[in-house]
Amino acid sequence: MAKRTRIKDIFSAETEKRYTVMGWVRTFRNNQFIALNDGSCLSNLQAVVDFENWDTNLLKRITTGAALRIEGNLITSQGKGQTVELVADKIEILGDCDPEIYPLQPKKHSLEFLREIAHLRFRTNTFSAIFRVRHALAFAIHKFFNDRNFVYIHSPIVTGSDAEGAGEMFQVTTLDLNQIPRNEDGNINFKKDFFGKATNLTVSGQLEAELGALALCDVYTFGPTFRAENSNTSRHLAEFWMIEPEVAFNDLNDNMDLAEDMLKYLISYVLEYCAEDIAFLEQRLSEEEKVKPQADRSEMALRDKLKFCIENDFERLTYTEAIDILKNSTPNKKGKFQYPIEKWGADLQSEHERYLVEKHFKKPVILTNYPKEIKAFYMRMDDDDKTVRAMDVLFPGIGEIIGGSQREERYDKLVKRMEEMHIPTEEMSWFLDTRRYGTVPHAGFGLGFERLVLFVTGMTNIRDVIPFPRFPGNAEF
C-alpha cells in the first residue's frame, strides 16, 4: 500500500502538495465534505470531493464507518472549523460499512450503550481520546522511572502464593472440573494440577518487587492484576493494571514524596502531550455536569482540577487525625454517611475519603499510620504497636488512588504479625529470606492505573477507561 500520511501530521504539513490519507468516514455532508478520522488525533481531516465529476456509485459507498484511501492536494481551507483540507482526486473504498446496520451513527450515544459495543467504541471521539491519554500515561510511567534509574521487574501473573492478602483470587487450573482428583481425606489433589500445586492469578506484584528491591534498590512493576472481589462499583475491575514501585532504604516519608512526585509528573505530562484530547474531555465533562443537580456538580473544569493537583502540596495527616475530623464533620453528625464514623479503628469508606479530599481539605490527601487491624501483614509496625506505617493517597472524585507502606523489615516482628494473621510462614519462606539475609528498611506502593486514567480523563466509571473491562458477570470480547 502507498505511503500514508497520518492525519495528525497533515495539519502541520506543507500545503499545495499531494498526500495520501487513510481512515474511517465520520460523516459525509452534501455529497461533498468527508470528515475522515484515523485515530492519530482527535480532529478529522476534511476531504473535499467535487461531486459532479465523480462516479455516483462510489459516492454512495462513502458512508459513516467506511474505510477509505484518499489522495489529493492539500490546500489552505476556506471554510470555518479547519485550517487545511484535502482536495480529493482519487478515492478508494478499502472497506464498506452498511449504514443500515452500523451501530455507531453520527450522533451522541450513551456511555452505557457504547460499553455494550466496546469493540466499536474506539471509533468515537470520547474513547479515542481516552485511549490516547491512557497510552500517554503508560509511556510516562516508564519514562518517570527510567529517568530515575528504576529497574522494571516483570512479576509473575500466575502465582503460587495465596498470601498476598490484597483480595479474593481467581484460581488457575487445568484440572477437569468434572473429575477432580482427590486425596484420601477428600481434599483436592493439586499435585495432579498443571503446576503441581494450587495456583492463582496475582492480586499484586509487590512481594516479588520487594525481592528485586533488596538487590536492585529501585524497582517497579507495571502489569495486570486480578481480584475476584464482588465489587460492582464504578471504581473496581476484576482485571486492572497496577504500578508498584518498591525502594530499598526508603522510609514512609520518602515513599510519600515518591508517590506525590510521580502523580504530579504524570498529570503534567498529559497536560503537555495530550492537550487536544484533554481539552475535548474537559468540554465533554462540562456538558455532563450541566445536566447534574447543582449540589453534585464539580466546581472545577477538568484542566483546572489537574493543574490544582500539580500546584498544591498534598495534605499529609495520620489516620487518627482524620478520624477526629470525620467524627466531628457535619455529614457524620447529621447521619449523612452511609457508614457513620463512631470510633477509632473504623475502616474508611470511599464516602469518607472523598469528604476529606473534596470538602474538608479541597486537595489530594495522604493518610498515614492506619490501625494494624485494617491493613496487610507486611506493613511496618509503629512503636505504639497499634498502627502501621501505611499510606493511602486520596484523590477527588476517586477516593483511594494509591495504597502503600513502609514494609516490616524486622524478621521477628514480621513473623509474629504473620502468625497473628494466620499467614503460613513456611509457604512464605522465600519472602522471609529477605529479612534473614541482609534486611533493610524499604517502602513501596501500588497505583491503580485505571483510577489514574479515570481521574485524568474526568470520566466517572472505571469500565470506560480500560478497553475491555472485566467485572462480575462480564468478560465480553
Q: Which one, 45 or 394, has the nearer CB to ligand ATP?
A: 394
Closest CB to ligand ATP among residues 109, 316: 316
* Joined grid coordinates for residue 133: 491519554
C-beta separation of 114 from 105 below 8 A = no
443 binds ligand ATP (CB under 6 A): no
Q: Is 134 in the site for ligand ATP (CB under 6 A)?
A: no
CB of 241 to ligand ATP, least distance (A): 8
Phi, psi (rounded to 5 degrees) for 302: -55, -50
Site for ligand ATP contains 72 (CB under 6 A): no
User: Could you give the string, one character per residue 195-234, with x where binding to ligand ATP holds by CB under 6 A and - elsewhere?
Assistant: --------------------------------x-------
441 is a site residue for ligand ATP (CB under 6 A) = no
Buried b or exposed e, range 397-426, using 16+ CB within 10 angstroms: bbbbbbbbbbbbbeeeebbebbeeeebeee
- Measured CA distances, 110 to 7, 39, 474 (Å): 27, 21, 19
Kindly indicate which of the ranges 14-22, 149-157, 396-404, 416-424 contains the residues binding ligand ATP, using the contact rule CB under 6 A: 396-404
In the complex, the smallest distance separating the C-beta of residue 322 from ligand ATP, rounded to whole angstroms, is 15
User: Which lies closer to ligand ATP via its Cβ, residue 28 or residue 240?
Assistant: 240
Q: For the CA atoms of the chain, what is the radius of gyration? A: 27
Count of CB atoms within 10 A of residue 206's CB? 28
Does 400 contact ligand ATP by CB under 6 A? yes
Characterise 165 by phi-psi region: left (phi > 0), alpha (psi -120 to 50), beta (else).
left
Stretch that binds ligand ATP, among 18-26, 108-116, 189-197, 400-408 (CB under 6 A): 400-408
Q: Which of residues 86 and 259 has its CB atom nearest to ligand ATP in the complex?
A: 259
3-state secondary structure 181-242: CECCCCCECHHHCCCCCCEEECCCCHHHHHHHHHHHCEEEEEEEEECCCCCCCCCCCCEEEE
Note whether 332 and 356 are within 8 A (CB): no
Question: What does each C-alpha distance from 463 to 117, 300, 306, 330, 467 come to in angstroms?
Answer: 13, 23, 21, 32, 8
x/- string (CB under 6 A) for ligand ATP, residues 98-117? --------------------
455 contacts ligand ATP (rule: CB under 6 A): no
For ligand ATP, the closer CB: 263 or 402 = 402
Can you tell me whether residue 383 is helix, strand or coil? coil
Which three cell numbers mark 323?
A: 478520624
Binding residue for ligand ATP, selected from 403, 444, 458, 469, defined by CB under 6 A: 403
Distance CA 356, CA 360 (A): 5
Binding marks (x or -) toward ligand ATP, 163..182, rule CB under 6 A? ---xx---------------
Binders in 232-271 for ligand ATP, by CB under 6 A: 236-237, 240, 242
In this structure, the number of other CB atoms found within 10 A of the CB of residue 109 comes to 17
Residue choice 208, 260, 358, 450 for contact with ligand ATP (CB under 6 A) = 450
Q: Which residues bind ligand ATP (CB under 6 A)?
A: 166-167, 227, 236-237, 240, 242, 400-403, 446, 448, 450-451
